[in-house]
Chain A
Amino acid sequence: MSKRIGMEIALAAAEAVALCKPDVVAAYPITPNTHVPEHLSDIVAEGRLDAEFICVESEHSALSACCGASGAGARSFTATSSQGLAYMSEIIPIASSMRLPVVMIVGNRALSGPINIWNDQSDIMYQRDSGWISMFAANGQETIDMAIQAFKIAEHRDVMLPVNVNLDGFQLTHVVEPMEMPDQKEVDSFLPPFKPIATLHPDKIVSMGTLGLPEIFNETAKSKDEILKDSRRVILEVWKEWEEKFGRKYEPIEACEARGSDVLLMTLGSMGETAEVAVEEARKDGISVGLLKLKLWRPFPFEELRKAVKGCKVLAVLDRAVSYGGPGGPVFSEVRSAFYDMQERPVVINEIIGLGGRDVPVSDFRKIIEKSVQAIKTKPEEEYEIFGVRGS
């Protein structure tokens, strides 16, 4: 039976990972994600989890250790943030190319510089094209649930890809709140043991991570792209099963009051919760506004997005990262490209909010709703805006 608990979300994430019985945890501490591996090391030390906890000397080594362990058939987990994730960069596409179902929790934090330890999503956006499945939790409950779902999705024979589960640093990692924690029996019945296709073993020699000559490189790229896109089917299946077992529904895009609304906001991560409060308030004031919470970032849910915006006049995409010198925020860029072939498409505006820990209260979301309503009549001149820049 699931139990209602109160706990810091980072610790709850570690508890959820422990329920998945990883064989290997390799991690290096970095704010704001530190509490996840720290608590896992406690759980291992207490004897509640029979895992090899590898105290590595860097994040590069952490993911390398996870890749090696995964290749040897071990369920492997790591966690990081920001510069730590950047330091893993070299190994990140190797994990996906080698089809190693490593699960990683990212406590999202701004990439330096200037040096900043606070939340935005620039760290994971930097890894956008690395071939991982990427999902975002909006609260503590989703963090627990996605951490457990991630292993099942990653290790599915039709997928065999690494998964990152993102939770906003501090905004989620450091918050104590109530959550439902599944018990061991429930997780065991949901998540079967990891059955690798091939394993590294001295008695049965296989090669992994070999050279890919130009003659096969296009083909490997195509297969990576197709497998990641096809993982959508398994993700939806796993989420369906989760809903049946635990009663909590997961969709690539969760819609709130979206149908028939003139204006929609689109959020990624924890900002969706505060945005929901603003949307509820605005609706009470008679404003026709709804909300789309994007949960699945890769593979990107193009189909669901096109359906979700039917009939809406303005879609305001809220990003928590900038594609410098590019089209605005990374979510915005995807969304606009999704609409290119649509005959009837909404005006899309882009507000980049909450960078490097800048707080975004309900009142800021109200201002964005207001601006979106104005955009029904007059499309704003600028394609995107970094919201709330002082002195501008």
Chain B
Amino acid sequence: MVEIRWHGRGGQGAVTSVEMLALAAIEEGKFAQGFPSFGPERRGAPVVAFNRIDNKQIKVRSGIYKPDVVVVLDPSLIGLVNVTDGLKDDGILVVNTTKSPDEVKKEMKFPGLVATVDAAKIAREELGVPITNTTMLGAVMKATHLVKMESAESPLKERFGRLAPRNIKAMARAYDELKIAKAA
């Protein structure tokens, strides 16, 4: 089982990210959970949301404390929130930032795999707003190989309707533009 924690700010759509990733995994016949951090969300405040993905039925229904993957939707959270808290040393950190993965790796002193992409720029160009939740799906899929990108298309179409093609393009660009610094 792979456990993922997403960090964002209220209004940036972290909950939509976990829903879309869970639905994409379910599309492939896998088992998945996507859930928010169970509480009232305030716009702009730091929030977390979670995924579990497995090939067999997932029974556990508690929070996630030792994630395999951490995704950061908003680079301003770094330093404000301990985003690598509990992240496994051999885990994966995926960050929306203009910085290179090596810079982030050094800054965060994280020994595992670090991947970065300027998702805010992609989202602004493709969606006209710096909301990176769907864009970062592409980054996560590239960094983790958990789910195929095509599997997210149908959930995105269902959710975003006529705006789906732009979200799918933003996701695909993040997939292509992701930069990876391998684990030390």
Interface positions of A (Cβ within 8 A of B): 4-6, 8, 31, 117-119, 170-172, 174-178, 270-271, 273-274, 276-277, 357, 359-362
Of A6, A8, A270, A357, the contact of B38 (CB 8 Å cutoff):
A357
CA distance A118 to B38 in the complex (A): 7
B61–A6 CB distance below 8 A: no
Q: Could you tell me if A176 and B33 are in contact, using CB atoms closer than 8 angstroms?
A: yes
| A362 x B60 contact (CB < 8 A) | yes
Q: Is B44 an interface residue (CB 8 A)?
A: no
B34 interfacial by beta-carbon distance below 8 Å? yes
Cβ–Cβ contact B23 & A362, under 8 A:
no
* A-contacting residues, B28-60, CB 8 Å: 29, 31-36, 38-40, 58-60
**Shortest distance from the beta carbon of A222 to any chain B beta carbon, whole Å:** 40
B82 touches A (CB below 8 Å): no
Quick check: is B70 within 8 A (CB to CB) of the other chain? no
Give the complex CA separation of A362 and B3 in angstroms.
15
B19 at interface by CB-CB < 8 Å: yes
B32 and A176: CB pair below 8 A? yes
Residues of B at the A interface (CB closer than 8 Å) are 18-19, 22-23, 25-27, 29, 31-36, 38-40, 58-63, 65, 155
27 A-B residue pairs with Cβ-Cβ distance under 8 Å, sorted by A, are: A4-B29, A6-B23, A170-B35, A174-B36, A174-B38, A175-B61, A176-B18, A176-B22, A176-B23, A176-B32, A176-B35, A177-B31, A177-B32, A177-B33, A177-B34, A177-B58, A178-B32, A270-B61, A274-B59, A274-B60, A276-B59, A277-B59, A357-B39, A359-B62, A360-B62, A361-B62, A361-B63
Expressed in whole angstroms, the Cα–Cα distance for A276 and B56 within the complex equals 14
- CB-based nearest B residue for A170: B38
Q: Are A359 and B23 in touch, CB under 8 angstroms?
A: no
Q: Is the interface of B mostly helix, strand, loop or mixed?
A: mixed
Known: A4-B26, A6-B26, A118-B38. A362 touches B19 (CB 8 A): no
Which residue of B19, B25, B59, B155 is within 8 Å of A8 (Cβ)? B19
CB of B121 to closest CB in A, whole Å? 29
Least CB distance, A373 to chain B, in whole angstroms? 22
Would you call A174 and B35 a contact (CB within 8 A)? yes
Q: Which residues of A contact B155 (CB under 8 A)?
A: 6
Check A359–B63 contact: CB distance below 8 A. yes
Residues of B within 8 A of A172 (CB): 61
Tell me if B61 and A171 are in contact (CB < 8 A). yes
Contact A274 B35 (CB under 8 A): no
A202 to chain B, nearest CB (A): 45
**How many angstroms from the CA of A5 to the CA of B23 in the assembled complex?**
9
Residues of B within 8 A of A119 (CB): 38
User: Known contacts A118-B38, A170-B38, A176-B23; is A273 also within 8 Å of B31 by CB?
Assistant: no
Residue of A171, A175, A276, A360 contacting most chain B CB atoms (<10 Å): A175
Instruction: Quote the shortest CB–CB distance from A8 to chain B (angstroms).
Output: 7
**Chain B residues within 8 Å of A359, by CB:** 62-63
Q: Are A277 and B32 in contact (CB under 8 A)?
A: no
Q: Are B32 and A274 in contact (CB under 8 A)?
A: no
Which chain B positions have C-beta within 8 A of A174? 35-36, 38
Question: Which among B34, B39, B59, B63 is the interface contact of A273 at CB below 8 angstroms?
Answer: B59
A16 to chain B, nearest CB (A): 17
Instruction: Please name all residues of chain B whose beta carbon is closer than 8 Å to the beta carbon of A5 when the two chains form the complex.
Output: 26
Contacts of B39 in A (CB 8 A): 117-118, 170, 357
> How distant is B28 from chain A, measured CB to nearest CB, in Å?
10
How far apart sit A104 and B58, CA to CA, in the bound complex (Å)?
27
Residues of B within 8 A of A170 (CB): 35-36, 38-39
Contact residues in B for A178 (Cβ distance below 8 Å): 26, 31-32
